[in-house]
Structure 1
Amino acid sequence: MPHFPMNHPARPLYRVLSGLVGLYILVFGVYGVFETWGDGLFDRSSNYALGLRTNLAFSLVSVVFGIFLMIGASRRGNLGHYMNLTAGVVFLVTSILMMAVLQTPANFLNFSMSTVLVSMLFGLVLLATGLYDKVGSEEHAEAERRRRNHPISEAGAR
């Protein structure tokens, strides 16, 4: 089983970061829906929302993901942890796949290179927040602090 830090002192900061990413994606999606309303779902024209190229399908997916991330950021338990990990992986995989088909007709979400870069950045931020916002019992957290501050682990770190 992988090791995730539990009850990290910066958890509130990580939740705020994931909430800000979710808020940006939600605003981007809503603005994109208004900009692309009336176009085809997978239209490849040059519609932009908040500096990123979009179409109606990508805007609608962004609204859903923005709401998903806002819910995850508002949860105090491990649900937000798993939601951030999942969203981070989804953003990274999607950005790599869309970069692979950027100049082809398979670019159905109308990505541009700037959209790929922002998606990768958001994926990395969400993955990092997911790695550090796990909640555990106080016993688990205390055991981790003892293990981290054990004299043998300090000698091995030198």
Structure 2
Amino acid sequence: MAAHFPINHHLRPLYRLLAGVAGLYMLVFGVVGFAQTSGAEFFTRDEAEWVLGLRTNPAFSLLSIVAGVIVLGANLIGRNVGHVINTIAGVVLTIVGMASLALMQTEANVFAFSMVNVIVTFVLAAVVGTASLYDRVGSTAEAQAEEEFRHGPSTARSTV
């Protein structure tokens, strides 16, 4: 069964803005974190710093920079590029949050995640994933065809 996303949703600019803010947070967190953890071992857990409320090491900071640039860039470009990237980012952030939760108290916690990191990752996944549901763009004819498919052909309303 194929997913049917609304096309040209009237709140699309709001959702793009929210996803862009999420990407900007990831980018700023990564840049500040990388600056504060420079000089530490790349995958250190012992020398991890707290930055903008999250625990980080140079590896996680660099990963956050890359993710932030991708999400922010896709939402600045907009159109269906944003839709595809937001969909992928929402799924990836959810998987990262679940994996980090599972590995948090083990030696495999190479990104020095704490419970706060997991919660913020799930919140970012929810924001970006929700934005992906409503930011699809298309022509007026495509939007009308999608609405007819989802709700059935509109019938003429009789007046009484």
TM over 0.5: yes
| Aligned match of 1:31 | 32
| Aligned match of 1:54 | 56
Alignment equivalent of 2:139, drawn from 108, 126, 137:
137
Alpha-carbon deviations, 1:81-118, whole Å to 9, x = none? 00000011110000100100101110001000000000
Q: CA separation of 1:140/1:130 partners in 2, compared to 1, >3 Å: closer, same or farther?
A: same
Contact 2:4–2:146 (CA under 8 A) maintained in structure 1: no
Q: Distance in 1 between matches of 2:133 and 2:56?
A: 30
Q: Distance in 2 between matches of 1:21 and 1:69?
A: 8
Q: Distance in 2 between matches of 1:85 and 1:25?
A: 16
Aligned length: 152
1:10 corresponds to 2:8: no
| Aligned match of 2:44 | 43
Matches within 5 A, 1:70-109: 70-109=72-111
Task: Output the amino acid matched with 2:41.
Answer: G
Q: Distance in 2 between matches of 1:111 and 1:69?
A: 21
Contact 2:148–2:154 (CA under 8 A) maintained in structure 1: no
Alpha-carbon deviations, 1:12-35, whole Å to 9, x = none? 001100110011110000000011
Task: Output the amino acid matched with 1:119.
Answer: T
Alpha-carbon deviations, 1:50-81, whole Å to 9, x = none? 01000000000001111101111112321110
| Aligned match of 2:114 | 112
Task: Output the amino acid matched with 1:27.
Answer: V
Higher deviation after alignment, 5-14 or 40-49: 40-49
Task: Output the amino acid matched with 1:5.
Answer: P
Q: Distance in 2 between matches of 1:89 and 1:32?
A: 24
Unaligned runs of 5+ in 2: 156-160
Contact 2:71–2:86 (CA under 8 A) maintained in structure 1: yes
Alpha-carbon deviations, 1:116-140, whole Å to 9, x = none? 0000010011111011101122101
Q: Distance in 2 between matches of 1:57 and 1:28?
A: 12
RMSD between superposed Cα atoms in Å:
1.5
Q: Distance in 2 between matches of 1:76 and 1:34?
A: 30
Unaligned runs of 5+ in 1: 153-158
